[in-house]
Amino acid sequence: MPSVGMVTLVGAGPGDPELLTMKAARLIQTADVVVYDRLVAPAILALAPVGAEMVNVGKRTHHHPVPQEEINEILVRYAQAGRDVIRLKGGDPFIFGRGCEETARLSEAGIPFDIVPGITAAQGASASTGVPLTHRGLARSVRYVTGHCKADEILDLDWDGLADPETTLVVYMGKASINLIATKLMAHGLQPDMPVLAVASATSPKERSVTTRLDRIEADIAESGLESPIVFIIGHVAGLAESRIPMRLISQARAMREAETFHA
């Protein structure tokens, strides 16, 4: 019997390969097996050593070719065969990444595991657009929620608590339910003109964003043609996107840094 391998859940970040942590990059380069999600950047997958087995278990809305329960068993089987497994997840494994379900199954099977955090989509979108998630005088707190329910259950969130004008609300996986979310928030007191920033494919070359308001979000998103994955930032801070001043400064700094790297 081979010795039991180890499974490491690794956050691949929001899209830009350079946002991968040093620890994550080092571990990927030593993997026997890489089990990865749909949104992991090809440049990150390319870090795996020649000969590593690459297992695609990617899911998208209403299309789960490999159910979560089967993913759990894949991790167990490879580890029981003595293989060291990197489980690559977009963003952070423990922020809407179902990482706890996987570690629970590994623990049950007696498989050693570790977790390497990653930059979550909210942070990536904030940095790439120059829009902060908190700001003195605008937002004293931030909350992350999912717009997607297990097995398409009814979306039942703490609407009273979420409709706080001094809180930035970040909605993951919310494209299909954003109109319901906006309607519920307005019904519980959030003003119709509350700014909303929608960011698609944050930090990647395909990134696009739309600035709108709560009462127009469904129509504006439909007109924009933004494709998932989309992060919605709802709150007064989203209004800063309209100035475009933060983004211009960030773009200038990036251009200067890239030019220096190129000429070095």
Known catalytic residues are: 37, 59, 173
Closest CA to 185 of 140, 231, 232: 232
**CB-CB contact of 34 with 53 (8 Å):** yes
One-letter amino acid identity for 154?
I
Q: Is 264 helix (H, G, I), strand (E, B) or coil?
A: coil
**CB-CB contact of 231 with 198 (8 Å):** yes
Name 209's Cβ contacts closer than 8 Å, sequence gap at least 6: 125, 129, 197, 198, 199, 200, 241
Q: Which residue has the tokens 């329910």?
A: 149
